[in-house]
Amino acid sequence: MLRSRLRGFALWLTLWLVAGLPLAHADKLELRGQYEEKLIQDALSRRKLTPSDLDPQPEGKRIEEIWIDASKVILPGDFPLSKYIPWTWLNAVHVRTRHEVIARELLFSVGEPFRRDLIEESGRNLRTLFILSVARLVAVRGSSPGSVRVLVVTKDQWSLRLNTEFRFDQARLDVLSFQFAEHNLAGRNKRLSIDFGFDPGRYSLGLSYTDYRIWGSRHQLRLIGGLFLSRETSRVEGGQLYFQVGRPLFSLRTRFGWEAKLQVTKDIARYFSGGSIYQRQVGGESVPDVFTREQVAGQVQVQYSAGIVHKLNLALGFRVQHQKYGLPDDFPDTISDAARSAYRQLLPRSESASGPFVGLNLYTARYIRLKDIQTLALSEDLRLGPELNLELRYAYHGFGFSSDYLEASGSFASQHYSADNLFSYEVKGGLRLQYGIDPRGALLNEYLTAQVREISPAFGPLRLHLSAKVQLRGRDLEQQRMTLGSDSGLRGYAPRELQGAALYRVNAELRSKGLNLWTVHVGAVVFYDGGDAPPSLSGFLRDGTFVGTRYRQDVGFGLRLGLPQFNREVVRLDLGFPLERPSSGGSYAPRFSAEFGQAF
């Protein structure tokens, strides 16, 4: 019943927005309106300028002046019925971002020559700030032929907010977290929040504070603290502490950076399938997949960056980690000692290690700005060309902990844009050399992930999005579990319904561009998903037992809602229809899921 009501509400909302409003406001409804371009035109008009005053060839000219035009969150006409409902009153409880906060992100100043690369990078830096929904920079003719003005157009995103991350599965709220947060304290881009969340097994309560510019410098600080409470007993069962401070590589011309961080977590890990604890079959018994977890990780690193277009970033640091796993005190007494012992062998391996590491990052700094890829009607900065990441880590007992090993990991990715077609792929892999741990050999924690993505040229208001992914793990000391369901790209199935040591998945989605209803953007999708999370791609368990793999698939349709005043991410509403026949006694039903962000 609730599932039907949710679908009915989504349909009613769409029809109301499209057809149910007074016709007197039809002049405000621009179905193909350009959200950011309208803001630029309004900013020019406020200075008695027109688009003809933009400078088509500003390169090399002296920057005569920098104008910052920062719009409030809600402007007249942003929402329907604005003649009757004073939506702009909401601006009274929002502190607009200060001009100096915007200005300090700019990588150029008055008197310098106009350089397109610095202008573009400044725009990208501004668009990474959560407090802004829009950031665009345009060149305006100066008072003389050799000069130019830079107009910085921004619009705030609502900063005093109840941030939410949620996942609906059918009529059940699977995951929810929210933060009562001010992301822009006094308009200075500092964040303070009270955090609450829950999943099927626990509640979490905490506080967090982030300062992106400590005392106006380029240094950053982040603090998070919280407690975990059991949903069944409401008792405290653990907590976490996270501390990070450093100076990031904030521009392509920044040469040095550093970072120090510490994370401490003590909790109970629970694996779920749908809304129930996952039952592992161990020695012929069903064992609930629940264990205690104690983790401490800390590192310090320094970074050196070379190049501007062809980048080389080198990191050198020292890392310490401690991990301990066991059975909780309330583990069922009905489980036999033999099954308990066998289940302990399936848990991640407890270990303590410390040692140095070195990392290398190579990439080409070429960017393109597109729209309607992962958001609706907002600019998205995409980096093109290849990227290579390598890391080598050495752990040695002489540094004070017991483990000795050599670990290597790497990834290669590339993204290409041609004739409005966007194609990307990525391959990641790693392994550890460690003796005396596994009788099968010294090469451990082997993993390989490959992913490819294709986004077609726009044909009319549509784009076709295709994605394929495979993940493999072998001799895994961490016993990591791959899960697949409506929370991870298989929308016709329960969250985490499929679990195993390997994963493969394909997705196809036909997405429409956003229909602009005032400043509310609505998009539609139809999709196909397929995949599985078997024990291995070969279908064999470690002991040689064959369990096989079964390809699952679904089709469906959905809506995407974009509210740029409140969030750059879309709200995803999907209804998936599994194509497999239900198990004996089961009933066939479509599955509704909803959360922030695209499905892939």
pLDDT score at 3: 39
d(C-alpha 106, C-alpha 116), whole Å: 13
What's at 22, amino acid-wise?
A: P
Do 407 and 446 form a contact (C-beta atoms < 8 A)? Answer: no
User: At CA 88, angle to CA 82 and CA 93, rounded to 5?
Assistant: 150
pLDDT at 64 over 70: yes
- Judged by average pLDDT, the poorest of 55-64, 114-123, 546-555 is 546-555
Higher per-residue confidence, 200 vs 339:
339
- Higher model confidence: residue 247 or residue 540? 247
How far is residue 298 from each of residues 249, 256, 443, 577, measured CA to CA in Å? 20, 21, 25, 45
- Calculate the CA dihedral of residues 197, 198, 203, 209 and round it to 10 degrees: -20
pLDDT-based confidence at residue 7 (cuts at 50, 70, 90): very low
- Under 8 Å between Cβ of 77 and 87: no
Q: Over range 67-87, report the average pLDDT.
A: 83
**Tokens describing residue 198:** 């829950």
For residue 317, what pLDDT is reported? 98
- Which residues fall within 8 angstroms of residue 215, CB to CB, at 6 or more apart? none
Cα(94)–Cα(71) distance, integer angstroms: 12
pLDDT tens for 500-525 read 889 999 999 999 998 888 778 899 99
Return mean pLDDT, the chain: 86
**What mean pLDDT do residues 29-58 have?**
83
Nearest to 183 by CA among 204, 210, 164, 154: 210
Say what the alpha-carbon torsion angle 561, 566, 568, 573 is, to the nearest 10 degrees: -30
Reported as half-sphere exposure (CB side, CA atoms, 13 A), residue 573 has a value of 17
Is residue 497 within 8 Å of 275, Cβ to Cβ? no
CA distance 342 to 280: 11
Of the chain, the end-to-end C-alpha distance in Å amounts to: 29
Reported as a single tens digit per residue, the pLDDT across 406-443 is 999 999 999 999 999 999 999 999 999 999 988 889 99
Mean pLDDT is lowest, of 170-174, 208-212, 405-409, 565-569, for 170-174
101: helix, coil or strand?
helix
CB 553 within 8 Å of CB 580: yes
Q: Which of 116, 128, 11, 143 is nearest to 60 (CA)?
A: 116
Q: Residue 157 is encoded by which pair of tokens?
A: 């995103």
User: How many residues belong to the chain?
Assistant: 600
Residue 590 has pLDDT above 60, yes or no: yes
User: Which amino acid would we find at residue 57?
Assistant: Q
Q: How confident is the model at residue 170 (pLDDT cuts 50, 70, 90)?
A: low
Q: How far apart are CA 137 and CA 134, in angstroms?
A: 10
Beta strands in 371-461 (DSSP E): 380-395, 405-418, 421-433, 443-455
Find the mean pLDDT for residues 324-336: 92
Per-residue pLDDT at 111 exceeds 90: yes
H runs (alpha helix) in 59-211: 99-103, 116-127
Could you tell me where the DSSP H helices lie in 458-546? none
If phi > 0 it is left, if psi is from -120 to 50 it is alpha, else beta; for residue 77 that is left
| pLDDT band for position 16 (cuts 50, 70, 90) | very low
Buried b (16+ CB within 10 A) or exposed e, 344-367: eeebbbebbbbbebebebbbeeee
> In terms of pLDDT, which residue wins out, 150 or 164?
150
Q: H or E element: which one contains 340?
A: helix 337-346
Question: What is the mean predicted confidence (pLDDT) over 385-404?
Answer: 95
The structure tokens listed for 51 are 């688009």
Hey, which bits of 271-306 come out as E strands?
272-273, 276-277, 279-282, 285-288, 290-306
Most confident of 19-33, 54-68, 273-287: 54-68
164: which strand partners? 178
CA distance linking residue 487 with residue 505, whole number of Å: 13
- Please indicate whether residue 156 or residue 67 has the higher confidence score (pLDDT): 67
DSSP 8-class letter at 336: -
Number of C-beta neighbours around residue 60 at 10 A = 11
- The reported pLDDT for the residue numbered 77 is 74
Of residues 357 and 204, more confidently modeled: 357
Does residue 102 register a pLDDT over 90? Answer: yes
Phi/psi for 48 (5° steps) reads: 55, 40
Model pLDDT, residue 92? 79
Q: How far is residue 362's CA from residue 239's CA, in Å, rounded to a whole number?
A: 37
pLDDT band at 186 (very low <50, low <70, confident <90, very high): confident
Per-residue pLDDT tens for 455-497?
999 999 999 999 999 999 988 888 888 889 888 889 998 888 8
pLDDT band for 364, please (50, 70, 90 cuts). very high
Which residue type, as a one-letter code, is found at position 58? P
Residue 393: partners with Cβ closer than 8 Å, 6 or more residues away = 319, 355, 356, 357, 406, 407, 408
Q: Which of 98-107, 159-168, 190-199, 556-565 has the lowest mean pLDDT?
A: 159-168
Alpha helices (H) in 47-188, listed in sequence order: 99-103, 116-127
**Which DSSP state fits 459?**
B
Q: Give the mean pLDDT of 79-83.
A: 75
Give the predicted TM-score (pTM) of the model: 0.80
Q: Which residues contact 464 (CB under 8 A, 6 or more apart)?
A: 454, 455, 456, 508, 509, 510, 511
CB atoms within 10 A of CB 581: 8
- 540 confidence band (pLDDT: 50, 70, 90): low
Give the whole-angstrom CA distance, residue 66 versus residue 198: 46
Higher local confidence (pLDDT), 581 or 268: 268
At 63, phi and psi to the nearest 5?
-75, 110
Q: Where does the pLDDT of residue 9 fall: very low under 50, low under 70, confident under 90, or very high at 90 and above?
A: very low
Cα angle at 30 between 24 and 33, to 5 degrees? 160
- What does the alpha-carbon distance between residue 144 and residue 156 come to, in Å, rounded to a whole number? 33
- Token look-up 């064999």 returns 540
Dihedral over Cα of 481, 484, 485, 489: its sign:
positive
Report the pLDDT value the prediction gives residue 197, as an integer from 0 to 100: 79
Residue type, position 363, single letter: Y
Residue 21 gets which letter from DSSP?
S
Q: Is the pLDDT of residue 1 over 70?
A: no
Q: Enter the tokens of residue 29.
A: 């409804």
